[in-house]
């Protein structure tokens, strides 16, 4: 390792359990060796950290100076030295070439500030498959590699698996690090990056085995609830469009009404709903008219926010809007 490593890998740990050693080994055995691994202990009460063998000088273990994952991440970044900042979780397994592949991608794409990776999701229970919802998410997230595609679908879900992320240090500095928000800290960072014009992309290889288990933070914390993801979308949609462009919501069901409420909370009051349900068309939801999709010309240049959560709905809505002269990312975006 050089005096100043090129890459700093930040791994927050709270009770790393039986999987920590494998996660650590997958980073320290990378084909690219000019790195440091900074583990930030977020007040663990198990003995996983004490079981680690500390023979590799690239491994540093720090005690968090705060409480929670955001404090641990920011503390690790403050103590790091690399030009590139990579994330890793204590229950996942990095492919041998992960760091090398991401560095190569960033070198070939100097306009990209944040590099993610494709993942394989597997169950933490031997003999079991990952939950179906995560399989659907895996397919969606692995389909987004180009910066243009990630930008178009940023308001659907978090497009960069957090433990795959690699950022240029100057990008993290520009964004101001992680923030303690009511919603997921990684989705907040990606949304801030999007609004700031930072491009995000991924190499084509699968570079991380992402472990699904009941103890995952995304299964335990209210930050990852449906309501909080909607609040995050609304916060940054308002930053982009409030006072600049009118919006209408495609979908007057629960997802659409929830988005409407959250947008209104952030001073972006939608103009109307659009729906295909004849029982809703012509009525009002949240005090707004519900229009038929054939009335789309009446909304003029308003941005259409498609907020229908039903599986397969995005493809149907996209096909109809494209056939009727609307372009994704310009005339409409998905927000559910």
Q: Is 199 helix (H, G, I), strand (E, B) or coil?
A: strand
Q: What is the 8-class DSSP label of residue 328?
A: B
- Separation CA 152–CA 326 (nearest Å): 14
Res 28: pLDDT: 97
| The predicted structure's pLDDT at residue 218 | 67
Instruction: List residues bridging with 39 in a β-sheet.
Output: 11, 61
Q: What is the pLDDT of residues 8-55, one digit of tens each?
A: 999 999 999 999 999 999 999 999 999 999 999 999 999 999 998 778
Alpha carbon distances (Å) from 28 to 13, 89, 90: 16, 14, 13
Find out whether 254 and 286 touch, Cβ atoms under 8 Å. Answer: no
Separation between Cα atoms, residue 235 and residue 175, nearest integer Å:
16
Model pLDDT for residues 60-90, shown as the tens digit of each residue: 999 999 999 999 999 999 999 999 999 999 9
3-state secondary structure at position 273: strand
Give the mean pLDDT of the chain. 95
Q: Is the pLDDT of residue 214 over 80?
A: no
In tens, the pLDDT along 125-156 reads: 776 777 777 788 999 999 999 999 999 999 99
- Report the C-alpha gap between 89 and 48 in whole angstroms: 14
CB 117 within 8 A of CB 203: yes
Domains with residue ranges and CATH for the chain: 7-224 (3.90.550.10), 226-334 (3.40.50.720)
The pLDDT value recorded for residue 2 is 66
- Tokens representing residue 319 in the block: 């096909």
Instruction: Render pLDDT for 88-126 as a digit per residue (tens, 0 to 9).
Output: 999 999 999 999 999 999 999 999 999 999 999 998 777
> Which parts of the chain fold into alpha helices (H)?
20-28, 69-79, 98-108, 132-142, 147-152, 169-175, 185-195, 217-220, 226-241, 254-265, 313-323
The answer to whether the beta carbons of residues 282 and 311 sit under 8 Å apart is no
The pTM for the full model equals 0.95
Count of CB atoms within 10 A of residue 53's CB? 9
Whether the pLDDT of residue 223 is over 90: the answer is: no
pLDDT attached to residue 212: 87
Q: Per-residue b/e over 212-224, b at no fewer than 16 CB within 10 Å?
A: bbeebbeeeeebb
Q: Using CA atoms, how far apart are residues 318 and 296, in angstroms rounded to an integer?
A: 14
């Amino acid at each position: 390792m050089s005096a100043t490593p090129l890459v700093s890998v930040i791994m927050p740990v709270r009770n790393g359990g039986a999987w920590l050693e494998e996660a650590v080994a997958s980073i320290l055995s990378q084909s690219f060796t000019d790195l440091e691994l900074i583990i930030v202990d977020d007040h663990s009460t198990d003995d996983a950290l004490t079981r680690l063998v500390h023979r590799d000088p690239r491994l540093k273990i720090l005690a968090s100076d705060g409480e929670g994952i955001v404090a641990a991440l920011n503390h690790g970044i403050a103590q790091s030295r690399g030009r590139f900042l990579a994330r890793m979780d204590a229950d996942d397994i990095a492919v041998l070439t992960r760091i090398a592949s991401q560095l190569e991608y960033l070198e070939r794409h100097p306009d990209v500030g944040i590099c993610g990776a494709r993942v394989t999701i597997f169950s933490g229970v031997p003999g079991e498959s990952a939950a179906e919802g995560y399989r659907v998410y895996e397919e969606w997230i692995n389909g987004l590699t180009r910066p243009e595609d990630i930008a178009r679908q940023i308001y659907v879900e978090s497009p960069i698996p957090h433990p795959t992320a690699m950022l240029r240090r100057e990008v993290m500095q520009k964004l101001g690090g992680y923030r303690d928000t009511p919603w997921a800290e990684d989705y907040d960072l990606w949304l801030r990056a999007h609004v700031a014009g930072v491009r995000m992309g991924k190499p084509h290889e699968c570079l991380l085995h992402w472990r699904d288990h009941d103890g995952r933070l995304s299964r335990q914390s209210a930050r990852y609830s449906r309501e909080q993801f909607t609040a995050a979308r609304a916060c940054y949609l308002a930053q982009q469009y409030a006072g600049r462009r009118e919006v209408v919501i495609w979908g007057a069901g629960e997802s659409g009404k929830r988005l409407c409420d959250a947008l209104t909370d952030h001073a972006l009051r939608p103009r109307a709903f659009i729906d295909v349900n004849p029982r809703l068309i012509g009525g009002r939801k949240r005090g707004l008219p519900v229009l038929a999709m054939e009335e789309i010309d009446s909304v003029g240049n308003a941005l259409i926010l498609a907020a229908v959560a039903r599986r397969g709905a995005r493809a149907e809505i996209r096909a109809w809007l494209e056939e009727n002269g609307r372009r994704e990312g310009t005339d409409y975006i998905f927000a559910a």
